[in-house]
Amino acid sequence: MKRFHIALAVANLDVSIDDYSRRLGQPPSAVVPGQYAMWRTDLLNFSINEKPEQAGQLRHVGFEDDFVDGYSSSVDVNGLEWELFSAAEQDRRIVGTYGVPVKR
């Protein structure tokens, strides 16, 4: 499966989790309290990081693709970072960056 990936900075993780869970119609797949949350829907991989000084800003975009090995990143002509990764690789990177996420 291939999902579009969007990563945003938010002012308040808990308030944003409640809002985006309603908008996406499901709870997040992974939560690192006070830092990070991620949703995987049929079409979208959506993640948020609590960064109040950057709230509302797009952090990066890309694709989660089950047929990709590992992780890669590139920058487009407008300076926007694009990531390409498998779900398994993203899960490894979440644990490596934040520790084991909790379910909500």
- Which residue shows structure tokens 């690789």? 89
The model's pLDDT over 8-65, given as tens digits with 9 standing for 90+, comes to 999 999 999 999 999 999 999 999 999 999 999 999 999 999 999 999 999 999 999 9
pLDDT at 104 over 70: no
Q: Which fold has domain 2-98?
A: 2,3-Dihydroxybiphenyl 1,2-Dioxygenase; domain 1 (3.10.180)
- Which residue shows structure tokens 């992974």? 30
Domain regions of the chain by residue span: 2-98
Residues 81-102 as b/e (b if ≥16 CB within 10 A, e otherwise) read eebbbbbebbeeebeeebeebe
Q: Which stretch of 25-29, 39-43, 67-71, 95-99 has the lowest confidence by average pLDDT?
A: 95-99
